[in-house]
Amino acid sequence: MDWLVSFRKAIDYMEEHLLEDIGANEVADVVHISAFYFQRSFKIVTGYSIGEYMRNRRLYLAGLDVLKKADRECRQPLDEKIIDLAYKYGYDTPESFTKAFSRFHGLSPMQLRAQPHRIKVFLPLIIEISIRGGNKMEFTIEKREAMRMIGFDRMFFYDSSYQEIPKFWKEFCERYCGSGAAAEPVDEDVRQTIAECMVGEYGICVENPADENQFQYFIAGAYQGGKVPAGMKVLDIPAGEWAKFKCKGAMPDALQAVNTRVFSEWLPGNPEFETAFHMNIEWYSCGDTKSGDYESAIWIPVRRL
């Protein structure tokens, strides 16, 4: 299915089921794309995760409900309707609904009733084609045997991953790669494993089946065998073909720009390849990450159509 058609179909489905308990898995099933890759593509193309988009649409409609009843039912206390609105728009309690409503609109339901001009508008997204430049993405297809990686992992929300993952790297570098003393003593086994396995050469995104709104991220290196120190994990990666996209420029902006193009231009609706499993790898070279000549890459597991 063409990626433009996929996004439009997904948005139509979300609008039709906006008041139902659905998430990324149900939306991705409609367009026959894995939730892991569809979440990433949707976030990059639209600027919103699926959960964030649906939450914003619901809160806008809740604001319209508040205003719709304001004129003809002003004699009835609004508090009597908050419970109904909370349940209608998927919140467990009136308090949680009011908190989310106030955060979105910038004022409470009662305040919005008094100042209707301040409602925050959030209309259904319209996806259009945007053609930028004429440069092709530079990539190669390479077969690799099964790989074993070792490193440190953390869960990230799709909504905030572009902001939070660089912080994870900063923590890692300050603790394990700095020349000064670490904030806490570092176990010698950990320090040796980081050096021998070159932990930090790879950043790996992995699907989290337990929560469609999050994914697992590893700061990793090639596992050389032996003891796995406390606090570190081993990740097995199947054999297969990988599409490797080269990147040149300062981190993290250069890599994030290539990542955006992969998930918004190359991957959706590709006529030659589809994703083989739910993972992608970032490769980092040695050198100054702030240099305009710094080299990195993104690897996507693929199979031929």
- Please tell me the least confidently modeled range out of 40-44, 142-146, 180-184, 257-261: 180-184
CB 235 within 8 A of CB 218: yes
- Please state, rounded to an integer, the average pLDDT across all residues of the chain: 87
- Please tell me the least confidently modeled range out of 40-49, 87-96, 105-114, 205-214: 40-49
Top-confidence residue, 77 or 13: 13
Phi, psi of 91 (to 5 degrees): -105, 145
Instruction: Record the tokens describing residue 229, joined without a space.
Output: 């120190």
- Please tell me the least confidently modeled range out of 15-24, 192-201, 261-270: 261-270
Q: What is the pLDDT of residues 153-167, one digit of tens each?
A: 999 999 888 889 999
Angle, vertex CA 35, rays to CA 171 and CA 157, nearest 5:
25
Hey, what domains does the chain have and what are their CATH numbers?
3-118 (1.10.10.60), 139-304 (3.20.80.10)
Region of residue 152 (left: phi > 0; alpha: psi -120 to 50; beta: else): beta
CB 260 within 8 A of CB 302: no
CB 27 within 8 A of CB 14: yes
Question: DSSP E strands: which ranges in 74-201?
Answer: 139-144, 147-157
Tell me the pTM: 0.77
Encoded amino acid at 109, one letter: P
Q: How many Cα atoms occupy the beta-carbon half-sphere of 233 within 13 Å?
A: 10
The answer to whether residue 146 scores a pLDDT higher than 50 is: yes
Helix 79-88 to helix 94-105 angle (10° resolution) is: 90
Q: What is the pLDDT of residues 116-145, one digit of tens each?
A: 989 999 999 887 644 443 445 778 999 999
Angle, vertex CA 28, rays to CA 26 and CA 30, nearest 5:
75
Q: What is the pLDDT of residues 271-288, one digit of tens each?
A: 888 889 999 999 999 989
